[in-house]
Structure 1
Amino acid sequence: MTDDPRVPRRASLELLRAEAGDELSVLIEERLRDGQDPWEFMEDLPSVDELVVLTLRAENIASDGGVRPTAARNYRVLRQIAMEYPPLTRAVWRLLGSEPHRAWDASVREAS
């Protein structure tokens, strides 16, 4: 974490993981209510840690005016997340080079 007073203080990793777990539960329930077979969609969904990384990445993008990051900036942002939250390093490496990051999200799939 940084001591820079201009950078908002983030929640603990435990809280971020709890929120991501709740979000993942909602995603699963939406798909089940839509009649989808869990055997077909479960491995397409991100892990809790991947959702945390994507949330932190989205916060960074929003703080930069919502401008879509270049590949180089995306790498730097994800690397910074891994340095700030070492337990998320594996999730960061899984996400590197896997655009679009939210392929499991219906709104992203429909936009492509």
Structure 2
Amino acid sequence: MSSAEPSDPRDVRPRRRASLELLRAEAADELAVLVHERLRGGEDPWDFMEDLPSVDELVVFTLRAENIAANGGQRPTAARHYRVLRQIALEYPPLTPAVWRLLGDANTHRRWDAVVRADAS
């Protein structure tokens, strides 16, 4: 497929852009900035640390966002969301535990969790 052709909307494979180590390093840097900003804002870490995603969860969200952007920015259906996250787990096996946590309902107390936002809509 040439770069001028649109991507197939059924293609849910993440586009490999970097090694997992680099993705994790970028996510760790981003998370550190978030923590620093909240601390500078006077928030107590006991109040917000549990609300933040883990480094691997942040990597999964980044890869998912890239997939959404590659699909014209369309918000995925629940089925597509599942397929995209499953494909991320297949492409990056060490991220599998984070993918399954995000697919499950164990972390629905977190404000950023997709399940919480979907229910709040």
TM-score (norm 1): 0.81
User: How far apart, in 2, do the equivalents of 1:8 and 1:83 lie?
Assistant: 13
User: How far apart, in 2, do the equivalents of 1:31 and 1:19 lie?
Assistant: 19
Structure 2 counterpart of 1:36: 43
Q: Is 1:103–2:84 an aligned residue pair?
A: no
Deviation at 1:96, TM superposition (A): 1.0
Structure 2 counterpart of 1:70: 77
User: How far apart, in 2, do the equivalents of 1:18 and 1:42 lie?
Assistant: 19
Larger radius of gyration: 2
Q: How does 1:48-87 map to 2 (within 5 A)?
A: 48-87=55-94
User: How far apart, in 1, do the equivalents of 2:41 and 2:112 lie?
Assistant: 14
Is the partner of 1:68 in helix, strand or coil?
Answer: coil
CA deviations on 1:58-94 (whole Å, 9 max, x unpaired) are 0000000000000000000000000000000000011
Deviation at 1:14, TM superposition (A): 0.2
Is the partner of 1:10 in helix, strand or coil?
Answer: coil
CA deviations on 1:38-63 (whole Å, 9 max, x unpaired) are 01100110000000000000000000
**Gaps (5+ residues) in structure 2?**
4-13
The code of the aligned residue for 2:21 comes to E
Structure 2 counterpart of 1:25: 32
TM-score (norm 2): 0.75
